[in-house]
């Protein structure tokens, strides 16, 4: 519901539900889940059995879309693809 509400208010967001617990703990140390960090090294959803306590099941970043500037994909392709190649003549 939060994602739909944010979209209706003009915010951009997404549902991010696969992450490594150790990385989440590094970014959000207030979650305090040391026992779960030891057991789940593959990421959320892949630990064995039930987990103790509470655990974040998704992360939802919120922000405003920027129409100007380069997108991440544009930056990556600019660095890896050359558009100055000579034409291949057969």
8 A C-beta contact, residue 47 and residue 36: yes
Closest residue by Cα to residue 65 from 28, 13, 18, 26: 13
- Position 48 scores a pLDDT of 59
- Position 33 scores a pLDDT of 58
Cα separation of 14 and 3, whole Å?
7
- The domain locations on the chain are 2-80
Instruction: Please give the DSSP secondary-structure letter assigned to residue 62.
Output: E
pLDDT tens for residues 17-43?
Answer: 777 777 777 777 766 655 555 554 545
Q: With bands split at pLDDT 50, 70 and 90, how would you rate the model's confidence at 7? A: confident
**Above 60 in pLDDT, residue 10?**
yes
Q: Which residues contact 40 (CB under 8 A, 6 or more apart)?
A: 21, 46, 47, 51
Q: With bands split at pLDDT 50, 70 and 90, how would you rate the model's confidence at 3? A: confident
């Amino acid at each position: 519901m939060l994602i739909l509400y944010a979209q209706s208010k003009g915010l951009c967001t997404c549902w991010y539900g696969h992450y490594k617990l150790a990385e989440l703990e590094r970014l959000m140390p207030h979650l305090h889940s040391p026992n779960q960090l030891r057991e789940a090294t593959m990421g959320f959803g892949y630990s064995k059995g039930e987990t103790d306590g509470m655990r974040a099941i998704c992360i939802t970043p919120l922000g405003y879309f920027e129409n100007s500037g380069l997108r991440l994909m544009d930056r990556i392709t600019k660095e890896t693809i050359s558009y100055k190649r000579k034409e291949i003549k057969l």
